[in-house]
Structure 1
Amino acid sequence: MADTYDLIVLGSGPGGYVAAIRASQLGLNVAIVERELLGGICLNWGCIPTKALLRSAEIYHYMQHAKDYGLVAEKISADIDAVVKRSRGVAKQLNQGVTHLMKKNKIAVHMGEGTLTAANKVAVTKDGKTEEISAKNIILATGARARDLPFAKADGKRIWTYRHAMVPPEMPTKLLVIGSGAIGIEFASFYNDMGAEVTVVEMLDRIVPVEDAEISAFLEKSLKKQGMTIMTGAGVEKIDVGANGVTASIKAKDGKVATSEFSHVIVAVGIVPNTENIGLEALGVAMDRGFLKTDPMCRTNVAGLWAIGDITAPPWLAHKASHEGVIAAEAIAGGHPHAMDPKNIPGCTYCHPQIASVGLTEAKAKEAGYDVKVGNFPFIGNGKAIALGEAEGFIKTVFDAKTGELLGAHMIGAEVTELIQGYTIGKTLETTEQELMETVFPHPTLSEMMHESVLSAYGRALHF
């Protein structure tokens, strides 16, 4: 007889395991199904281990610039194998943490490949054996995988996805990164800091194209200063793989095609949702280009079937998946959670310098019909940034000129991925410029720039 639960969660990434925990807290009998490792891609092969790699690169960068801080560090070198080993250790620690959380919250873990056999049933297959479990409600949280280029299939040797780039068989000497979204730029930044010669090719007219145009321009200038080659409005048309490297044919913005030699290639051109072969077609689940359609409470069009995270609409971010997991769990338990507002979801890119943003860009705000007031404050005007030796960057805020509503905030510079949450809270609370102006910011901190940027939008900046 099949095990029966109140809820089955298919996938244990940051959306799935959080949904399972919240549902358990609300008194539901919960099972989670995972085919590989608890914690999913984010904890094991994504957000967390990449940040461990980037931290090593950051420390290496500081050591190489020790004299800027009045220090002496000689014969500095990097051991890529040791850097990767540390990263994998961090991932293992967090995987064990999720395992503990499942036990603590009395969540039944079924390891294996999960397939829907009905709207309320899942077949779990492992080592040739299949068990069937059922529940009144099922949350799909199966995530996504890297998109391949048809002419550049990842082989793990010369052509890499993000997963290969986290455990490189060797240190690249000359690296081509195709795509300049968060994943592409983070790996470009990591390998550049570690000593590789890096070229980034972006099809659109600017790098990190989802960010505000001023952020993109500042980052491109910074990365070029660090030694990277940045090609925008360009495309890779062909890649030939050899024993010792690859030859790439790249069409530049002017239409001319040139060939260049690289030791390795990272393909970072988007994701593909893991929605195939899990029984969705037979159930008639509504999709859009493979992504599941959901209502504001994460329901699909099939009763009892819910979907969260990277298999649904963008943005495809771990924290968005986790929040959706809470929304779905609370709705299933009979609550009335607030629907997700995409405009209040912050985005962070951990390159050097860091990028963080929330809400509308200046251009998007104008397209939406807003009359805007824009504030801008540079890191060079902040005492803490100068003391840290991190005077590169700025903070930009966008307001509705009529109401004072904070429409968006955009940052580039040291630790902005930590600062952005202040503006995110402000947006969630529907704050106005007046409330932000009247808030006391501690001194000396980087956060003072957030205050100054708001003041700047209204011609009241004090320190620049």
Structure 2
Amino acid sequence: AETLLVAVGRGPNSAGHGYEEAGIRMERGFVLADDRLRTNLDNVFAVGDLVPGLQLAHRGFQHGILVAEEIAGLDPRPIDEAGIPRVTYCKPEVASVGLTEAQAKEKFGGADTYTYALSGNGKSQILKTAGGVKLVKAPDGPVVGVTMVGERVGELVGEAQLIYNWEAYPEDVAPLVHAHPTQTEALGEAFLALAGKPLHVHG
């Protein structure tokens, strides 16, 4: 790469709304909340970009659903922040869900990884895109992270999200058949390889 663009500086729009005056606990402009998005004040919740963490629209949508269900007494399951898919809309796209290799090593004391190059994927050849799919697996455990780089990989993150959130093992996913030619085959082949049954191996 010849040029690197670093986009930083986003923050919560919380100034001047009277939160601190009302007694709501804040930190660096963010409203502090528990895993059910409750603040320190009774019947006051915080959602979306006001809450520390990823500033993503779909995270905010899910926060709203959780709070609505909490108020309705439906006892919703708290949101696993790592299970929220992340997509960087650049060229090529970057999409991920779950833990990075470094995070997995810190959490589990180690990690198994496999990277499948899109050069072995027919649809990616048609699209003339390069990149890859990286799987991160806990030692003797399930897949805990998926990262993909390539054209349109944001469209693949839904399958990766299910795999992560259902704590699937490579052996669980490897037998599933993926349509040909599609980029989802890259995910399928990565899982085949991590399960010890590689189909195509390309550099």
Alignment TM-score, normalising by the size of structure 1: 0.42
The match for 1:329 among 57, 68, 84 is 68
CA contact (8 A) 2:171 2:195 kept: no
1:346–1:356: 8 Å Cα contact kept in structure 2? Answer: yes
The answer to whether the 8 A contact 1:343-1:359 is kept is: yes
Q: Which amino acid aligns with 1:415?
A: R
Local SS of the residue matching 1:273: coil
Contact 1:346 / 1:358 at 8 angstroms: preserved in 2? yes
* CA deviation map 1:401-458 (0-9, x unaligned): 212x111000000110010110101222222211111211111111000011122224
- Contact preservation (8 Å) 1:358, 1:408: yes
Q: Contact 1:354/1:413 (CA < 8 Å) preserved in 2?
A: yes
Task: Flag as ranges the 4+ runs of structure 1 deviating above 4 A.
Answer: none
- Relative distance call for 1:268 and 1:376 in structure 2 (3 A) is closer
SS at match of 1:230: coil
Answering whether residue 88 of structure 2 is matched by residue 356 of structure 1, we say no
Aligned to 2:121: 382
Structure 2 equivalent of residue 273 of structure 1 = 12
Matching of residues 377-416 of structure 1 within 5 Å:
377-390=116-129, 392-403=130-141, 405-416=142-153
Q: What amino acid does structure 2 have at the position aligned with 1:288?
A: E
AA at the equivalent of 2:122: G
Name the count of aligned residue pairs.
Answer: 201
The answer to whether the aligner puts 1:229 opposite 2:7 as a matched pair is no
Return the offset for 1:340. Answer: 0.6
Q: Indicate yes or no: 2:188 matched with 1:446.
A: no
Q: CA deviation at 1:335?
A: 1.3
Distance 1:350 1:365 in 2: 25
Report Cα offsets for 1:277-313 as digits up to 9, x if no partner.
Answer: 1111121101111111111111111111110011101
Which one-letter code corresponds to 2:78 in the other structure? A
- 1:306 and 2:45 correspond: yes
AA aligned opposite 1:449: A
Residue 374 of structure 1, CA deviation:
0.8
CA distance in structure 1 between the partners assigned to 2:193 and 2:30 by the alignment: 41
> Retained in 1: the 8 A contact 2:144–2:167?
no
SS at match of 1:451: helix
CA distance in structure 1 between the aligned counterparts of 2:78 and 2:185, rounded to whole angstroms: 32
Unaligned residue ranges in structure 1 (runs of 5+): 1-223, 232-266
Write the distance in 1 (CA, Å) between the matches of 2:122 and 2:84.
Answer: 29
Aligned AA (2:193):
S
- Residue 423 of structure 1: aligned partner: 160
Cα contact 1:275–1:311 (8 A) shared by 2: yes
Conservation of the 8 A alpha-carbon contact between 1:371 and 1:402: no
Matched, 1:462 2:199: yes
Give the Å deviation of 1:382.
Answer: 0.8
1:368 maps to a residue whose letter is: K
Aligned ranges 1:245-264 → 2 under 5 Å: none
TM superposition score normalised by structure 2: 0.93
Specify which structure has the higher proportion of strand. Answer: 1
Give the letter for the 2:86 counterpart. Answer: G
CA distance in 2, matches of 1:432, 1:230: 36
Partner SS for 1:295: coil
In the TM superposition, residue 371 of structure 1 has moved relative to its aligned partner by 2.8
* Residues 198-213 of structure 1 mapped to structure 2, 5 A cutoff: none
Please give the alpha-carbon distance, in whole angstroms, between the structure 2 residues aligned to 1:452 and 1:423: 13
Q: Deviations over 1:311-338 (max 9, x none)?
A: 1010111111100100001111121111
1 CA distance for matches of 2:10 and 2:168?
34
**For the pair shown, which has the larger CA radius of gyration, 1 or 2?**
1
Question: Aligned to 1:348, what secondary structure does the other structure show?
Answer: strand
CA contact 2:116–2:190 (8 Å) conserved in 1: yes
Q: In 2, distance between residues paired with 1:272 and 1:355?
A: 22
Letter in 1 for 2:117: P
Q: Structure 2: how far apart are the matches of 1:312 and 1:285?
A: 12
Write the letter of the residue equivalent to 2:149.
I
Q: Structure 2 unaligned runs (5+)?
A: none
Q: CA RMSD in A?
A: 1.5
Q: Distance between the aligned counterparts of 1:431 and 1:370, measured in 2?
A: 19
Report the CA distance between 1:230 and its aligned residue: 3.4
